Chain A
Amino acid sequence: MPVCAICIWGRIMTEPLLSLKSVVAGYGRTQILNGISLDIAAGERLALIGRNGMGKTTLLATIMGLTQLHSGSVTLNGAAIGAMPTHRRAGLGLGLVPQTRDIFKSLTVEENIIAGLRGDATLEEAYALFPRLKERRRNGGGQLSGGEQQMLAIARTLMGRPSLLMLDEPLEGLAPVICEMLMGVFERLAADGRTTIILVEQHAEMAVAFADRVVILDTGKIAYQGSRAEVQADPAILDRFVGVGLSAA
């Protein structure tokens, strides 16, 4: 069940899991994010939405250390990670499922998962979450359907035991039945309270319905943030920033 907005703000006020302060970042000299400040509480579900090119993917990449941080700070559990290499951030509990999925095509499904195994994570956990992957475990990464590739990308990231899971448009181009199944998986992951989730999604209604809090990006800045209930109560918010109206809940 989504947690109430007051509870989330209460948790953030005590100790945010992830904190971004005036983050300016981009690719090389190109600046994409223009001063983002955002706190995310442990166990929170955050929907990050916005039109194409507004900086959603760049924000996730910046948290993961895949872009150049021009100024500002990024802290995880109070420790500055802004200058930390990507692999160490992953070791600290950040996990990113990229929009491109980045399946290793020359490896089998099982080998892809093994490549992501860390600590006490096991293959069986991945197969329990996505039984379809077990059936396809001997197939090459390049032989999978889009939905299977997405399952594999998520499973591989989860094998790193992330405390903050960032999902970049995981439903893009997938059949409705697969989208529903994946949203069910995200619900289960979030429900155990150990995994904080940032969901970037073009399916705004789905993202909002999943989240505790909604953040809308516009030209590299936070244009709006509010609780799920607030966004659902005012369809004009999404209509204004994303061009999608929501039917009032």
Chain B
Amino acid sequence: MMRALFTLGPYAGLIAAAIAAYYLFPSNLGFVTTVVVAMIFVLSLDLVMGVAGISTLGHAALYGTGAYAAAIFATLVSADPLLGLAVGAGAGAAIAFVSGLFLMRAQGLTLLMLSIAVTEVLSSLANKYSGLTGGADGLSFTPGALFGRFEFDFYGQLGYIYAVCVFLVVFGMLRIVVASPFGLTARGIKESPARMRAIGTPVYWRLVSVYTFAGAIAGLAGALGAQSTALVSLNVYDFQRSAEAVIMLIIGGTGRLWGAVIGTIVFMTVHQVAASADPFNWLFVIGALVLAVVYIVPAGLLGLPEMVKKLTGGAR
């Protein structure tokens, strides 16, 4: 009973927070939806970086591909949002699988550089094939009605509810995956690839699988992002998107999924407030935040209660 409460409690908290945000920020639902989309994207990064230990600065490649796939699909085939999500997830997974085949053979700095290179290649391709992608002008489209019935409204109310539902499904699914033998072996690989090989895990293919799965999640986030703004432009492949996702993860804490959620909320809120207060120097605040977290709570904000507990325990 208590265990079920501990398991379900945080979900109830998430739903309560989502409902509260809906009523607290009725005129800012567009921004809150962006935060939810970013949370899904950072969750995907957490699976790759926090759980499996794959260093990347090119996660935007998977996001952007999902976004473009959903937009092109909506323009050429069907505007159904759920189909668009599936197409975005499939495209993200496909590009992650193809790029993962060579990325997962690299490590460290080489891997970081290659992941950036993949994003740049995709960005150039999107620019080159402007007939399909809209090039520098971007590709605007109109998402269809949800379930063929509910139209996306101007205030972003349905878009927000839709994004929250997708987030809850993704979050729940990732929790199951991370706790499964598949997830455990990924965590084992992060700690000791050699040991995982010695107990029979095909490390390379397992990493490709994790990257592909994360690609599906990132692609889905991209598709959701595209549907919520009804526009995809080349900035979906921006290096900044990948780098900010890493910062969000570091702020929240890696490898535990909740860190991705908390880090994204904190980063985007601070970003929004700081940028509104000082549009020229807001990066100073972000930099200070990252420095503070890294030096004071290296495990991220998620490690804060544990640190406080240790400090108070030590004072006794």
Contacts and interface: CB of A to CB of B under 8 A. Distances in A.
A96 B196 CA distance: 11
Contacts of A188: none
Contact of A90 (B185, B192, B199, B255): B199
A107 B185 CA distance: 10
Interface in A76-111: 85-88, 90-91, 95-96, 98, 102, 104-107, 111
Contacts, number: 64
Interface stretch (A2-10, A13-21, A112-120, A171-179): A112-120
B10 interface: no
Interface string B176-191: 0000010011011011
B195 A102 contact: yes
Contacts of A149: none
A157 B197 CA distance: 11
Contacts of A115: 181, 184-185, 187-188, 196, 199, 201
Question: Main SS of the interface on chain B?
Answer: helix
A101 to B, nearest CB: 9
A157 B198 CA distance: 9
Nearest to A118: B200
B249 to A, nearest CB: 16
Interface in A113-136: 114-118
Given A104-B192, A106-B255, A114-B181, A66 B187 contact: no
Interface residues of A, number: 26
Contacts of A86: 194, 197-198
A38 B152 CA distance: 73
A122 to B, nearest CB: 13
A156 B192 CA distance: 14
A105 B191 contact: yes
A209 B300 CA distance: 52
Contacts of A64: 198
Given A114-B181, A115-B181, A107 B200 contact: no
A98 B192 CA distance: 12
Given A98-B195, A104-B192, A114-B181, A87 B200 contact: yes
Contacts of B174: none
Contacts of A87: 196-198, 200-203
A157 B196 CA distance: 10
A170 interface: no
Interface of B: 181, 184-185, 187-188, 190-192, 194-203, 255
26 contacts: A85-B197, A85-B202, A86-B194, A86-B198, A87-B197, A87-B198, A87-B200, A87-B201, A87-B202, A87-B203, A90-B199, A90-B200, A91-B200, A95-B199, A102-B192, A104-B188, A105-B191, A106-B187, A107-B188, A111-B184, A115-B184, A115-B185, A115-B201, A118-B200, A159-B199, A160-B200
